[in-house]
Amino acid sequence: MAPNSESQSPDSQTFTLPNGRTLGYAIYGPLPSPSVPAIFYFHGIPGSRKEALLCTTLCASFSVTIIAIDRPGMGISTPQPGRKILDWPSDVLAIADYLKIAQFSVIGDSGGSPYALACAKAIPESRLLKTAVVSGFYPSSSLGVKGMLFPVRVMLFASAWLPTVAVAKVLDWECGNAARDPNPMVLEKAFMKTMEKRHEKDRKCLEDEEIRKVVIGSTREALRQGSEGAAVDLGLVVGEWGFGLEEVVGQRVVLWHGREDVNTPLGMAEKATGAMKGCEFHILDGETHLSLPLNRLEGILRDLVR
C-alpha cells in the first residue's frame, strides 16, 4: 500500500490499499510511536474523521494518538461496493501496519459502534487492547427499539427496507444537498432544523460554538461525495452484522451509555450487555446521545490508556 500525494495534512491523510481503494484518515495528538498509546476512532452516521477533532486537547493532555478513519464513501475514503461490517477490521489493521502501530484500542461512537464491536470480534488481543462503545447502536432487529425517538425509528426502518439510492435521496433532502452548498450557513440551518426533533440536552450541546462547528463540519465532510456512503452505512448497521454479540470477547469491551439517550435507548445497551459476557458497562445519569461523548470524553480516554 502507498500514501497518496493529494492531501497529507494531519487531518486529511490518505493511503491506497492493495486493492486500489483509498482510505482517508486524520491524526490528532502526537504522531504515532511505540511510546505513545494509540486509539482508532470510528465516527457516527453521517460522520467523518473530522468528528474526532473534539479530542485534540485531551490527546495532548494524555499524550495519546487518535487516528480517525473515514469509512468507505464518506469523507475522502473511496466507496467499497458490496462492503460488509466485518470488512472493517482488516482496514483498521492495514492502517495500523502502515503507521507501524503494534497495539491499539478503538472507540466506536453511535453508528461507529458496530465497527468497533467487529474489531473486538475479529482482531486478536495481541493487537487490540480495548474497545470503547459510546452511545452505542446495537442490533435493532433482535434487541428492539423501545424508547427510541420516532424520527430515528423511521430512518432506521427506511434504511432497512428501501434501496440505498432512495435512502440517499432522503439524506440529500435532510442535509446532503446543503452540505455541498458553497455557503456554509445553508448546512448549519438544515442541520439545526433536524436537531429540533432531538433531545433538549442534545440541542443544548450545540449552543457551544466550537462544538457546533466541529459537529456540522464533520457532517459536511461526510457528505462531500454524495449521500450514498452514509446510506450504505445505515443499511449495514440496521441489517445483519455478520456476527452475533455473543461472539464478541466481552472482557475487552467497555460500554458507555447515557440514561436519557433516546436515539439509541438504554434498553438496547442493557440487552447487549447481557449478550457480551464479561463486558464493562457504565450508565451515565443525566447524559443523552450527544452529551455523553462530549461531557465524558476525558473519562473514556483515561479508561482506554490506563
Residue 143 pLDDT: 82
Residue 10 pLDDT: 80
Q: Which residues make Cβ contacts (< 8 Å) with residue 178, sequence separation at least 6?
A: 186, 187, 189, 190, 191
Residue 174 pLDDT: 92
Mean pLDDT confidence for 223-237: 97
- For residue range 145-193, what is the model confidence (pLDDT) as tens digits? 889 999 999 999 999 999 999 999 999 999 999 999 999 999 999 999 9
CATH number of 2-149+241-305: 3.40.50.1820
Q: How confident is the model at residue 141 (pLDDT cuts 50, 70, 90)?
A: confident
Residue 59 pLDDT: 92
Residue 1 pLDDT: 52
- For residue range 13-22, what is the model confidence (pLDDT) as tens digits? 998 998 899 9
Residue 221 pLDDT: 97
User: With 60 as the cut, is the pLDDT of residue 106 above it?
Assistant: yes
Mean pLDDT confidence for 25-43: 95
Residue 3 pLDDT: 52
Q: How confident is the model at residue 85 (pLDDT cuts 50, 70, 90)?
A: very high
Residue 68 pLDDT: 98
- For residue range 272-292, what is the model confidence (pLDDT) as tens digits? 999 998 999 999 999 999 999
Residue 4 pLDDT: 52
Mean pLDDT confidence for 34-62: 94
Worst-scoring range by mean pLDDT, 118-122, 134-138, 139-143, 250-254?
139-143
- For residue range 90-102, what is the model confidence (pLDDT) as tens digits? 999 999 999 999 9
Give me the amino acid identity at 134: V
User: With 90 as the cut, is the pLDDT of residue 115 above it?
Assistant: yes
Residue 197 pLDDT: 85
Q: How confident is the model at residue 5 (pLDDT cuts 50, 70, 90)?
A: very low
Residue 6 pLDDT: 45
Q: Calculate the average pLDDT of the chain.
A: 94
∠ Cα 151 141 117 (to 5°): 95
